């Protein structure tokens, strides 16, 4: 029985390796970065981001060369977001009132695309920062690959509670089918909203953010629009290129943010991928359970086998986190605590998303039951499909 269980647990552990087999990163830029940057408008949707914007704007100004245009879309902020953006050299565009059927971010991105002057659009979240040369690497990848290029920023954690995002980040990477051994044979199921690069022509042909205006997890929906229109989607890791610090305002912001994003994102995963993730998570749960029952439960693993299994998961989680962010040395050894938090918040997300039909984010209530919004003619958007 013990041998059978060890084989089963080994297979569970290996599913985790399969799901994040290779996290490709942006390669060194080969093309002349000057014409690429000169053809790029950076669009930053911002709602009450006075604290985060200076870091991003400074990193953009330090790029060699910087982008031709930086557009900050002030999404009804009540702080000094617009003033900070102007001081940082950005063009500021106000969203005005939010039309029915849109989420705040999709409306801000669509508005920013309409104000952009250049043929290449780079959407960056306000909490991101580019590493030196990062913009050139991202634009070079897009020039070579085309379609939609999305880069997952390297997640930098500062305060202890921020490390509670660990399993959310890992599972998000697993869920889009962009990093397993079959990644070259199929399109990813999603993208990373904090960093998206596309041409204006491809953006409009796919429908852009107007086509996903009611989606809570708009990056996943946008990637699927590109795939449906026959355009490639490429997802890359951001180590050495772009970083961010998620939810710096406190634990409540972290819970609210992951509650908003996660149930909808899980629904978009392929059934077989969802199953594999569940198998891996069940292994993560069983390892500490075996460790706690070793020597007491006659059907459990021996203390040595239970200890070895737990160490195997600690090593695996550490390996995963090291590829997607900076979570500190104790997060992996204490992963059961972080996993328990993940499961509680995920359950909360399912209840609010699928039972209550509403989540909140930055003071707004967002409906989650209807996947599509009203027609463009009902929203004030350009019915021709151009921002």
Number of other CB atoms surrounding residue 91 within 10 Å: 16
* Confidence at residue 299, expressed as pLDDT on a 0 to 100 scale: 58
Q: What is the pLDDT of residues 93-143, one digit of tens each?
A: 999 899 999 999 999 999 999 999 999 999 999 999 999 999 999 999 999
The model carries a pTM of: 0.90
The torsion angles phi and psi of 361, rounded to 5 degrees, stand at -160, 125
How confident is the model over 280-288, as a mean pLDDT?
Answer: 95
Q: What is the pLDDT of residues 344-378, one digit of tens each?
A: 999 998 888 878 887 887 777 777 765 443 333 33
pLDDT band at residue 386 under the 50/70/90 scheme: very low
More confident residue, 358 or 35: 35
How confident is the model over 210-229, as a mean pLDDT?
Answer: 94
* Cβ–Cβ < 8 Å for 131, 63: no
pLDDT band at residue 260 under the 50/70/90 scheme: confident
378: part of which helix (H) or strand (E)? helix 376-379
Q: Shortest CA distance to 255 belongs to which of 123, 359, 145? A: 359
Residue ranges, comma separated, of all CATH 3.90.550.10 domains in the chain are 33-249
* Confidence at residue 382, expressed as pLDDT on a 0 to 100 scale: 40
CA distances from 322 to 37, 276, 325, 327, 332 (A): 30, 21, 6, 8, 10
Residue 300 to residue 304: CA distance in whole angstroms:
11
The torsion angles phi and psi of 5, rounded to 5 degrees, stand at -65, -40
pLDDT band at residue 65 under the 50/70/90 scheme: very high
Scanning the structure block, which residue is given the tokens 């104790």?
330
Tell me the H-state helices in 207-302: 218-228, 251-268, 271-293
Q: Which fold has domain 33-249?
A: Spore Coat Polysaccharide Biosynthesis Protein SpsA; Chain A (3.90.550)
């Amino acid at each position: 029985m013990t041998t059978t269980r060890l084989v089963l647990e080994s297979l569970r552990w290996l599913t985790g390796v399969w799901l994040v087999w290779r996290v490709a990163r942006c390669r060194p830029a080969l093309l002349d970065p000057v014409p690429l940057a000169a053809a790029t408008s950076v669009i930053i949707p911002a709602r009450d981001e006075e604290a985060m914007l200076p870091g991003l704007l400074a990193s953009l100004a330090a790029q060699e060369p910087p982008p031709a245009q930086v557009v900050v879309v002030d999404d009804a902020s009540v702080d000094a977001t617009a003033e900070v953006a102007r001081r940082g050299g950005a063009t500021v565009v106000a969203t005005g009132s939010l039309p029915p059927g849109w989420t705040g971010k999709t409306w801000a991105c669509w508005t920013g695309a309409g104000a952009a002057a250049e043929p290449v659009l780079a959407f960056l979240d306000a909490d991101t920062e580019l590493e030196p040369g990062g913009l050139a690497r991202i634009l070079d990848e897009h020039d070579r690959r085309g379609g939609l290029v999305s880069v997952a920023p390297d997640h930098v954690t500062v305060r202890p509670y921020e490390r509670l995002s660990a399993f959310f980040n890992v599972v998000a990477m697993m869920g889009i089918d962009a990093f397993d051994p079959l990644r070259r044979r199929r399109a990813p199921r999603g993208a990373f909203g904090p960093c998206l690069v596309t041409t204006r022509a491809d953006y409009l042909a796919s429908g852009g953010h107007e086509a996903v205006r009611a989606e809570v997890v708009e990056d996943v929906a946008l990637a699927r629009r590109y795939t449906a229109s026959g355009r490639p989607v490429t997802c890359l890791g951001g180590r050495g290129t772009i970083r961010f610090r998620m939810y710096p305002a406190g634990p409540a912001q972290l819970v609210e943010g992951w509650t908003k994003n996660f149930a909808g994102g899980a629904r978009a995963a392929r059934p077989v991928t969802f199953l594999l993730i569940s198998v891996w998570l069940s292994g993560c749960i069983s390892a500490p359970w075996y460790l706690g029952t070793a020597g007491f439960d006659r059907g459990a693993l021996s203390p040595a086998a239970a200890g070895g299994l737990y160490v195997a998961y600690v090593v695996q989680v550490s390996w995963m986190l090291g590829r997607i962010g900076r979570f500190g040395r104790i997060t992996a050894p204490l992963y059961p605590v972080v996993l328990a938090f993940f499961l509680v918040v995920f359950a909360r997300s399912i209840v609010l998303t699928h039972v209550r039909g509403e989540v909140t984010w930055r003071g707004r209530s967002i409906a989650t039951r209807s996947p599509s919004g009203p027609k463009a003619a009902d929203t004030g958007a350009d019915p021709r499909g151009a921002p």
